Structure 1
Amino acid sequence: MHVPDGFLDAPTSIATGVVAVAGVAVALRGARKELDDRTAPLAGLVATFVFAAQMINFPVAGGTSGHLLGGVLAAVLAGPFTAVLCLSVVLLVQALLMADGGVTALGTNITLMGIVGVVAGWLVFRGLLSVLPRRTSMVAPAAAVAALVSVPTAALAFAALFVIGGTAPVDSGKVLVAMVGWHVVIGIGEAVITALVVGSVVASRPDLVHGARHLLAARELEIRKAVA
């Protein structure tokens, strides 16, 4: 998913850079409401986990490999605004220190993985929780589906950017089919990993999981009403 330098033309890269800067600025303001002394360490652990997990590639087919994006995982555990910041920091370190993704394409990668992937996944996650039974056991399955959706959505966004400003001599239709098709498969791996990690944390400390807070609050309110 990492876009290298020169894969998109300068105007497109600049435009996505502007979107990335604006998105990070909004995330900085929003994260103030999500983080406190108790949850801030979890955000650091999430960023570290995503960084490490993105370094592990798993084979898909035909020599293609994929890795965890981590947007939904970070959003469910630490909150969507914090997730954007976590992914942005991870992508920045990867681009500057490990040449994983181009420096001039940093704005593009943050836009695709740190903003599109997080926002799309978080909307799906909240939408599912609104129709599923209001139990914390539903958090992990909802997160898995959201993670599955977020990966091809980010790939679709890249395909759209390639139509606008792609520089490689490849047919845009083939890029769309290849990117979305393979990333649906990659999304299955993303869903499995997300479900396992979120499920483990929810089982041990549901109070630390941002995506489960409103369920816990509703349960406590019901208990208080029953007692009263």
Structure 2
Amino acid sequence: MHVPDGFINAPVSAVTGVVAAAAVAVSLRGARRELGGASQALSGAGEKTAPLAGLVAAFIFAVQMLNFPVAAGTSGHLLGGALAAILVGPYTGVLCVSVVLLMQGILFADGGLTALGVNITDMAITTTVVAYLVFRGLVKVLPRTRRSVTAASFVAALLSVPAAALVFTAIYALGGTTDVPITKVLTAMVGVHVLIGLGEAVITAFTVGAVLAVRPDLVYGARGLSAPLKLRVGGQLVDAPAPAAAPAAARPGSTRKVWGIGIVTALVLAGFVSFYASASPDGLEKVAHDKGIDTKTSQHASADSPLADYSVKDVGDARLAGGLAGVIGVGVTVAVGSGVFWALRRRRTEPAPERTPEAV
């Protein structure tokens, strides 16, 4: 659903740029709490979230290269907002997807640079906010189990994709550069993105479930879901005393193993599996072509990038060129994402300098 340059006019693109910048600024503040808030300092959750957030960004980049067929001549790919919000938190999730979109636009000419605000508003903000609100609403009413978290992840991801299609349609209604009846755009966009949402839901639920199975403490959306232990005293149920802190040897281990498995998986997906992805246009490209939205598309500013279209230029073998581009993309995304999140966490946890008493 990467919107290219030329779909939306300059004034509306500028407005969405302001909206995106404001949302990123708010997310930077919120992510500091998610990555190292006071309550997390005791449990070490901030230490776990920071490296996982960089990995989530790289994983989303890799999986977005894997277009899957959804209908005749149409494909879809992961948007990633739901996955990021559930794994590392909504504010950090917005930043994860925004980092991916920035890398894709600058290095791979995927998604217009003048449309970056549109893409962040649509793919990062909308999907993350909608998915996390749905997810939190479901986990409050469902039994407090890992299966419930996985099921809530599925539904949240499923709904986040047509929500993004609705937001794009609204943006197009305000600033579309072609004269296409908005009802036709709405029907086509929502219809195909409901199908894409099913793929998003399967990928999100599978990934969340896999992390829950090995390290449930790493899943932001699963924190605080265990019901308090009850004891029967004098015929009444009362909360049991809080257990003493577990010894260091009994606490969950380092995230290095999970991080290592995750980054290897992302590299394999982007560097090898992506070659077998569907070559059909994605949902937005198909709708834009069929309805005539793309008649004023302009050339991407990064069209001459050595990695444009996810292929390394001057490499003759198409499979090797695409695989190298994917590996480079994963490496750059994890480096940029991890750098941003570590900087945020360090700023949050860095002790304030002591004030010296002023001389009287």
1:161-176 superposed matches below 5 A: 161-176=171-186
| TM-score, length basis structure 2 | 0.61
Give the AA of the match of 2:6.
Answer: G
Distance in 2 of aligned mates of 1:169 and 1:182 = 21
| TM-score, length basis structure 1 | 0.95
**Equivalent in 131, 136, 145 of residue 135 of structure 1:** 145
Distance in 2 of aligned mates of 1:203 and 1:168 = 49
Structure 2, gaps ≥5 residues long: 36-45, 232-238, 243-360
Distance in 2 of aligned mates of 1:74 and 1:34 = 13
CA deviation vs aligned residue, 1:149-193 (integer Å, no higher than 9, x gap): 000001000001111111123221111001100000000000001
**Equivalent in 45, 51, 59 of residue 41 of structure 1:** 51
1:202 corresponds to which residue?
A: 212
Give the AA of the match of 2:110.
Answer: D
Distance in 2 of aligned mates of 1:157 and 1:165 = 12
The structural deviation recorded for 1:223 is 6.4
The structural deviation recorded for 1:9 is 0.7
1:156 corresponds to which residue?
A: 166
1:92-131 superposed matches below 5 A: 92-131=102-141
1:52-91 superposed matches below 5 A: 52-91=62-101
The structural deviation recorded for 1:214 is 1.6
Higher Rg: 2
The alignment's C-alpha RMSD in Å is: 1.3
Between structures 1 and 2, the one with greater helix share: 1
Q: How many residues are paired up? A: 225
Distance in 2 of aligned mates of 1:26 and 1:227 = 38
State the percentage of identical aligned residues: 65
Give the AA of the match of 1:167.
Answer: T
The structural deviation recorded for 1:135 is 1.8
Q: Single out whichever of 154-163 and 128-137 deviates more from structure 2.
A: 128-137
1:12 aligns with 2:6: no
Query: What is the DSSP-based 3-state SS (H/G/I as helix, E as strand, rest coil) of the residue aligned with 2:75?
Result: strand
Give the AA of the match of 1:210.
Answer: Y
1:167-186 superposed matches below 5 A: 167-186=177-196
The structural deviation recorded for 1:39 is 1.5
Structure 1, gaps ≥5 residues long: none
The structural deviation recorded for 1:222 is 2.1
Query: What is the DSSP-based 3-state SS (H/G/I as helix, E as strand, rest coil) of the residue aligned with 1:215?
Result: coil
Structure 1 segments of 4+ aligned residues over 4 angstroms from their partners: none
